[in-house]
Copies of this chain bind each other. A is one copy, B any other.
Amino acid sequence: MTQSKANSLGVVEPRRYQHNSEFWLQNGEQLHEYELVFETYGTLNADKSNAILICHALSGHHHAAGFHALDDAKPGWWDACIGPGKCIDTDQFFVLSLNNLGGCHGSTGPNSIDPNTGEIFGPSFPNVVVKDWVASQAHLADHLGIKKFVAVVGGSLGGMQAMQWSIDFPERVYAAVLIASAAKLSAQNIAFNEIARQAITTDEDYCSGNYQQFDKNPEKGLMLARMVGHVTYLSEDGMKTKFGRDVKSGNFAQGADVEFQVESYLHYQGRAFTQYFDANTYLLMTRALDYFDPAREFDGDLTRALEQTTTKFLVLSFSTDWRFSPERSQEIVDALIRARKNVASAIIESEHGHDSFLLPINRYTKILSAFLQRSYAELEDISRSSQTTQGDLS
């Protein structure tokens, strides 16, 4: 193992869950069946009480930790936080991570075959919303025999799933960890998502979403979408530290067209993204982000939306995150307090903007680790005392 693979889970293998019955979506449509690709890290204990579910963000997937092959250049997207001895400690927890429905990394989505037509779904893949993801994740948990998670954990769009779990299945989630998330997107966030969608759908290679049929890929649009994401997920100070105004090529004095380092970086990242992410999935994921608003059914009152939950919460945000700012997290905390729920929260100092949630920042990982440990201990206590009580009664 190379240096970077120390403290890692080593090689992990994706698995598949096949849901063989109809699945009704929130928009009234149904999938005859669906498949989810997932990975697990650590060992599920005998009473299946040590499971943690990781929910991914906009461009995420099931491969959260470890490597798919020993010569992989990079580990899973949250390897900094998931592994033996890490803050989501696989020596103690059984960690489940999946690719969401509608994704493009192996789960049923726009690139899957529509059994009704024998062709790939493409743009006709139904709109899915956060509530659909949570329902499909619950089926996966059933399949694995997990009745209750110690915690459902997610950053950004992943945090929205954790919140929805606490509303839809409070009895199945002891704790929800909402990181750099929001109870609903702001107009500004919707606007940035719309720019990304517009970039994709106006690319002539998008072909109304049927690009595969024409052996095309709206790479220019996807690249732009990713560039917008990158700029807005970083903080201004973080970009300054990383790039400043350094020049990559060209020369001011000679009057040549200058390319700044930050431009070169964005081009590189944007181009790379087009090789591993699907345009229809990007549209679907951003729509799910925009739609999310659990308070909508309660006349916009988030407190009422959270009134029935029995889950406890940890709400974390980052000082320089301007797309999912500490104020958005504070709205969630305020609603939970008004609803008299058990909530802990912290704003973590970091110059890395929204991307901070992926990084092993010391205070962040300590808080997360302690919260998960304590939640697990509490859950075990409750379980023991309930067994004792049941024993007394029998």
Contact = CB atoms under 8 A, between A and B. Distances in A.
Interface of A: 25-29, 127, 184-188, 190-192, 194-195, 198-199, 202, 204, 220, 223-224, 227-228, 230-231, 234, 236, 239-240, 242-245, 252, 254-258, 260-263, 266-267, 270, 287, 290-291, 293, 296, 322, 325
A220 B191 contact: no
A187 B240 contact: yes
Contact of A198 (B194, B227, B236): B227
A3 to B, nearest CB: 30
A360 B269 CA distance: 41
B188 A236 contact: yes
A242 B187 contact: yes
A352 B269 CA distance: 32
Contacts of A188: 231, 234, 236, 239-240
Contacts of A290: 258, 260
Nearest to A28: B255
B29 A186 contact: no
How many identical subunits does the complex contain? 2
25 contacts: A25-B255, A27-B255, A27-B256, A28-B254, A187-B236, A187-B260, A187-B261, A187-B262, A188-B234, A191-B231, A191-B262, A191-B263, A192-B231, A194-B227, A194-B260, A194-B263, A194-B266, A195-B228, A199-B224, A202-B224, A224-B224, A236-B322, A245-B293, A257-B287, A260-B290
A266 B186 contact: no
Given A202-B220, A224-B198, A231-B191, A185 B296 contact: no
Most-contacted residue by chain B among A199, A230, A244 (CB, 10 A): A199
Nearest to A300: B245
Contact of A187 (B29, B202, B239): B239
A121 B274 CA distance: 34
A220 B223 CA distance: 15
A198 B223 contact: yes
A293 B252 CA distance: 11
A160 B185 CA distance: 35
Given A195-B224, A223-B198, A224-B195, A252 B190 contact: no
A258 B287 CA distance: 9
Contact of A184 (B25, B245, B257): B245
A25 B252 CA distance: 13
Contacts of A199: 199, 224
Contacts of A263: 190-191, 194
A29 B255 CA distance: 9
Nearest to A220: B202
A143 to B, nearest CB: 27
A235 to B, nearest CB: 8
Contacts of A230: 191
A58 to B, nearest CB: 17
Most-contacted residue by chain B among A28, A231, A252 (CB, 10 A): A231
A156 B378 CA distance: 56
B239 A191 contact: yes
Nearest to A263: B194
Contacts of A223: 198, 202
A384 B255 CA distance: 44
A194 B261 CA distance: 11
A322 B320 CA distance: 13
A204 B194 CA distance: 21
Contacts of A26: 255
